[in-house]
Each structure stands twice: as structure tokens, then as C-alpha cells.
Structure 1
């Protein structure tokens, strides 16, 4: 049979998925990202000049990152190269760079799209720097992880980060209407079931079109699914809340306040609601880390260690086993002594630093690497604390024009009680050694 197709000059091709067939042909067709591609969007403004710089596209799956990268290449007349960080090594990148140099010599630029760029290690990320700097490639990386944590600072300094948002209900419904127009038939869903399908997509445009295909395959002639039948057929439950709407923020707020209020039972309830609703467990892990540094702080320094360990355990175990590590960390936070003293100290110190950022530290604590600096008194009179009684000299370290400040005021709870006693002892020694005892 394949010979007959070949003789007729035809090729047998597998049907393309709906999401691929409906991939936007121009930036204006991208839904849900008006802040980037709308009439006054960031990318729209960039493209008015006819060029774009290197970019990092950060956002959840199915929000249009790959599509936008392809369209940017077309809009700027660049050759488009796409790789995945999972399957690409340094040797592969070198070949791509050599190809881009060859094109550049012929007057053609290259847009290199790197999917899941956060999966590249430091050496691989560093390999992009010279070709970004000399214009060999315009790098566009896509990531679902926070670039601040996952990408090198040197790479980030050479690229602009653009945030892609989860698609709202209106954007998902717009995609479904496009699918119905392309298929020339309506989805066999009643009004409630259609709303459930939108929620099932969970802000992921690609997922919404995949679900639509599944619905059409499953429906018999003349059959219309209600919400219950839809969930049974797709074997998928709609999230309890839409992560892009108020439910997401309401529940994370409730979780945070339950931890702060030392209620482990309410903490577990809201944690389980979020995980059961399909919340990204790593988002929950990040919030637990924030709670550890904001609400427990140095009252229990182990809280931060345990939250980071829980995050790593989730990475190692995956779902659902790893979710138990998050639950354990949440219980620990809720039952730990509470202190926001470090949080308040940081805010106070930051405000003072901004107001007094031009003051010079005392010369006694400045290094003197040159003879001239020694002659100018740099480092003169500095006392090495380890050589002093109690390993404490009692010197002043603030700029003279500012005087001593007191930002950190530990609470009498948990480990901070010990820190408070230690600071009181040092304050007494400072007064004695500065002749103010």
C-alpha cells in the first residue's frame, strides 16, 4: 500500500494534533498575553524597531512561549533554531554556534530557542555568553522555573525576562471557539460541562485543545456531555480553584496565616486543599520557605533548613510521595516558635541603607592593599576580634556620620532568647571597652 502512495506522489502522514494545527501565525493571534503582544505590549513595542534582544520567557506550560519565539524569528527575519536543554550538550551547542556564525557571515542572523533552559548546568549556560555578546545568536530561552533561582546571573544580565501568565477562562474559551471553527462542529458539552472543561485546562492552552480532541473522540452521535459525564469520560477532575484567580491567592493566604497562627491542623487542611486542587507543589514549597524566613526566622533556624530539605525531597520523590515532605515541613513551621525580628530588621536596615548609601565605613575596618592607602590611615587601629578577650573587641563598625544603629531586636522565644542574651552581653562589653561601662 505504501508503494501505491509513493507511486501517486503522495505521502502518508499522521494527523497533526489540534494544538499544532491551531498554532498562531502572528503575534496578534496569541491569547492571554496582552501585556506582551497586545497593542501596547512589551514585545509589540520591541518589534516596532524591527529587532529584539535576547530574552528569557518565564511562565507555566501551554501559555505560548514556544509559539512566541517562532513568531519573533519570523517578525525579525532571523533563522529559527530550536533545542531542548534535556537532549542538548555543549558539543551540540558548539555546532549550533558554528552554524550561526556561518549565517552571520552571509548576512543572516539566528534566533536560538532553548526550551527548558533552566535544565542546563552552569557550564552550558556560560557557553551562551560570548555568542550573545557578539551577536552571533539572539537567545530566547523558555523556562517554567523562576529564572532568578535557576539561571546564572551573567546570563540574566544579558537577557530580558518576560513573564507569561496562565491563561484565564476567557482566553481558554477563545481557544475552544477557534477549535470548533477549525473542526466545523461544536463541542458536545452543555454549558456547565464547557465551564468545567475550561477549568480542567488549568490555564494551559495546549491542554485545553488536547482535552477538546478527547471530548470529540469520546462523544457518540448526538451525545452531549454534562459536567459529571465529562469528568467520567476524561478521567480528570476540574481543579477546585483556578490558579489565575482569587482562589489561588485566598488559599495561599489562609495557609500562611494558619502557619503564623501556630495551627498545624488548619495548616494541613489548606495545604491539602491546594495540592488536591492541582497547585504546583514547588510553588507551595517556595511559599513554605518564605514563611520560614518571615515568620519563624531565628527563633528556630532549623525551619529554613527543613523547608529546603522538603523541597529537595519533593524533587527527588516526585508526586504524590514527595507531597508528604511538604506536609511535614508545614507542620514543623506551624509548631515552631514565631519571630519576625529578622524580617523587621532587614526592612529597617534596607531603609537606612537607602537613605545613607553614600557614607564611608570607618577607615579602621578598610583594607590597605597599597602603600598610599596605609599612609592615609586605612586599617590603622583595627583590632582583630579573635585576639581579644571573649573574641570581641567592641569596636564601632558603622560610619561615624551615622552612629550605631539597632535593627535586630530578638524576641524572647525559641533560639532568639539565646541570641538576645548573647547580644546583651556584647552590648555590655562594648560599653566597658569603649570606656562607657
Structure 2
């Protein structure tokens, strides 16, 4: 018989590990970035120093260390680390996790349960964590890229502290690149401007940077220029969710830049939304709203500029039509600003609610029938065109209602002229009613 089965198997070479795995920090002190939560006086640092780690929700963009931090927290607190993903885990799987955690607890060891993409669990699944958090079976650390206040139950949030992690800065990414070069035992074959471009391509994502570095490190030849690097690598897709928080953050940035009369910032956020795939029609609608809300009658042309640019986009389509919208962005940013009518409108709505169903005074009621005329509808109405200066000065508010002032035009743009008119008619009204 062959001695094939008696021959010891040759050890197989270990499969190469990705650079991101080889550079995974061994201690919290090695984590790059996030000093605002990991420092001695920061939330996690203070918790660890006091020996009182609580359940956490780690909220931040991809590639900033959420999984690594959770694993290191378990190591530092001597808790068993269990990792699951909300994408692949169902209710039966959760039951097994909780049962195993109870067994560990009975044997004197706690469990840190790390739940990646925790926002993917529905309400019932999220509620399933609560009793096990309350009795100490698990210490929950959830990770999410979405705003917890929108995606997680209030009951779960009340039992966990939300820790906000930030995208890595260019300085953080440079430190990570230097650490990668030490691991690779050679400098990256990049010229200075190409190295800057590489860091920009990562867009604050450390894992993305290490993946890009692996591709660059495989290149053999003279150092790459910026253009050569761009030909070999694809820029990381911009983080933008047209229905998520990033959508609202960017439209808020655009709106506030326009309100702040900064055309450069406004164009930047406008371009960021377009690059992220935003529907230009949504932007056209929001620009029109800005014209109505923040410019108003200070520049009556602003609204027309927005409507015209919107119509031009519809006629030209993309990509030429976006330039018409860009014209509107710059026009709105540089236009005089006023929310005078907006404030007046809200005050008028509030007064309308407060005064209930007070009827109009008799003299301005419609009188289409003889009966209505007989009981006084329309009696005493002064036809303004027949009055001196085309202004009668009559009171048009309900009887018994003290005349309010809703609209007070500011001294900006065209509303300077409107302010003169408001004051002129107020003066005439005083004369007419006084007489």
C-alpha cells in the first residue's frame, strides 16, 4: 500500500492579507483620527478610565474605524467580542447570539455585541435588544452611517450613548499612508502632486485609501504624476444619498450659502449635489423657494430668474441646462435679502387662527342681492379711485379687531421703495380716519 497517507502534508503558504487587515490597530492609541472621542477627556476615554463602558451607537461615514474601535473596546474591557451584520442576521440568529451571551454571563464573562449597519434592523428587531441590554446580558455597540435620530428607535437610543465619528482629515490620511509605507517597506511610487491626489481620492475614508495604496504599490516604474495616477485609479464615489441625511445637509448648505450672499460657496454646494446625482429639477424648485423666502420683494426679479432658469433647463436638458440653474444660484446669492413678506405672512396666518371666524365689516361685503343691500352689505364703501390720491383710508379689518402691522419692509433693495409706500399710505390713512 502506498505510504501516501503517512506522508505529512506540506504546510500551505498563508494567503496574503489585505493591507487594511495588516494595519488594523492593536490598541486604541494606534487608532488614527477620532481623538475627540478617544482622548483621555473625551467620552470613550473617560468611560474606559472610569471602568464604566455603556452601550454605544457609533455614527460616522465609512472607513473611519467603527469596527476597529468596537473590537478594541472589547479587548480593553475583557468582554467577548461578537460581531454581526444587520444585513445578514435574522431573528433566529439573534436568539442564538443572546443565548450564547447568557451562557457566557453565567460563566462570568460579559459580551460586547457589535452590530454593523444597525439601522437596517426594523423596529421589532431593534426592540429585541432592549431586555438583554437592561439585564446586562450584552453591551451593545451599534455602527451606522445614517442619522440615528431618524433610523433608530427612541427606546434603543435612550439606552445607548451616540458617539459621532468624523471622516479622516488629509493629515490623518497622510499618517495612514506613512504607516502603510512602513508596512510595505518602501515609499509609494508617487510624485508630490500625485500623492495629494491619492489622499483626495480617498474622500476621508481610511479603508478606501489603503485599497488605493495597494493598487499603487503594485506599480513598478518611475513615480507617477497626477495625470498618470488618475488614469490608473478611479476616484472614490462621492458620499451622497438622495433620500438620506446627506441630501438634507447639502441642500441646507446651499440654502444658507445663498442666504449668506456667498456665490462661490453656493456654487460649490450646488455642484456637489449635481456630482452626487441630484435631480436638477429638485434644485430648480429649491432655488425658487429661496427666491420667495429669502429675497422676496427686495428683488422682485429673483423669482422670475428662477422660473426662467427652470424653464430653460426643461428646454435644454442636461448637461447644458444646469448652467441656467447656476446662473440663478449666483443671482440669488448676490441679490438683496429680505424675509419681510415671509415674516408678515406667518404673522397673518397666526392672526387668522387666533381671530377665528370674525366676519368682514359690512362696508366691504359683497351685495349681489336686494336683501343683502337692505341689511347693509356694501353700505358706506368708499371707492378708492374716486378718492383723493386714489386712497380712501377705510378700515378693512373685522369690526372690533385692533389694526395689526404685519409687513415692515427692511431698508434693502426694492423694498426701500416699498417702505416709502407703506409709510406714505399709513400717513394718509391717519389723516383720512382722523378726519
Alignment TM-score, normalising by the size of structure 2? 0.62
Match in the other structure for 1:123: 124
Match in the other structure for 2:284: 331
Cα separation, partners in 2 of 1:422 and 1:410, compared to 1, 3 Å = farther
Match in the other structure for 2:273: 275
Looking at structure 2, the residues matched to 150 and 179 of structure 1 have their Cα atoms a distance apart, in angstroms, of: 35
CA contact (8 A) 1:56 1:143 kept: yes
Match in the other structure for 2:74: 73
Alignment TM-score, normalising by the size of structure 1? 0.62
Match in the other structure for 2:59: 58
Looking at structure 1, the residues matched to 340 and 357 of structure 2 have their Cα atoms a distance apart, in angstroms, of: 14
Rg larger for? 2
Does structure 1 residue 230 correspond to structure 2 residue 229?
A: yes
The Cα RMSD (Å) is 3.7
Which of 347, 352, 355 aligns to 1:422? It is 352
| Residue 192 of structure 1: how far off its partner (Å) | 1.0
SS in 1 for 2:146: coil
Alignment length (residue pairs):
307
SS in 2 for 1:114: strand
Match in the other structure for 1:173: 174
Looking at structure 1, the residues matched to 198 and 50 of structure 2 have their Cα atoms a distance apart, in angstroms, of: 40
Looking at structure 1, the residues matched to 250 and 402 of structure 2 have their Cα atoms a distance apart, in angstroms, of: 53
SS in 2 for 1:186: coil
Match in the other structure for 2:207: 206
**Deviations along 1:166-204, whole A, 9 cap, x unmatched?**
001111111111110011010000111111111111111
SS in 1 for 2:50: coil
Gaps of 5+ in 1: 240-249, 282-319, 341-408
Looking at structure 1, the residues matched to 402 and 237 of structure 2 have their Cα atoms a distance apart, in angstroms, of: 69
Looking at structure 2, the residues matched to 90 and 410 of structure 1 have their Cα atoms a distance apart, in angstroms, of: 55
CA contact (8 A) 1:259 1:330 kept: no
Looking at structure 1, the residues matched to 98 and 210 of structure 2 have their Cα atoms a distance apart, in angstroms, of: 35
Structure 1's consecutive aligned runs of 4 or more residues displaced over 2 angstroms after TM superposition are 6-9, 11-14, 38-41, 235-239, 250-254, 257-263, 265-272, 327-330, 336-340, 409-429, 431-437
Gaps of 5+ in 2: 239-248, 295-338, 360-396, 404-435
SS in 1 for 2:356: helix
| Residue 258 of structure 1: how far off its partner (Å) | 6.2
Match in the other structure for 2:133: 132
SS in 1 for 2:108: coil
Looking at structure 2, the residues matched to 207 and 135 of structure 1 have their Cα atoms a distance apart, in angstroms, of: 36
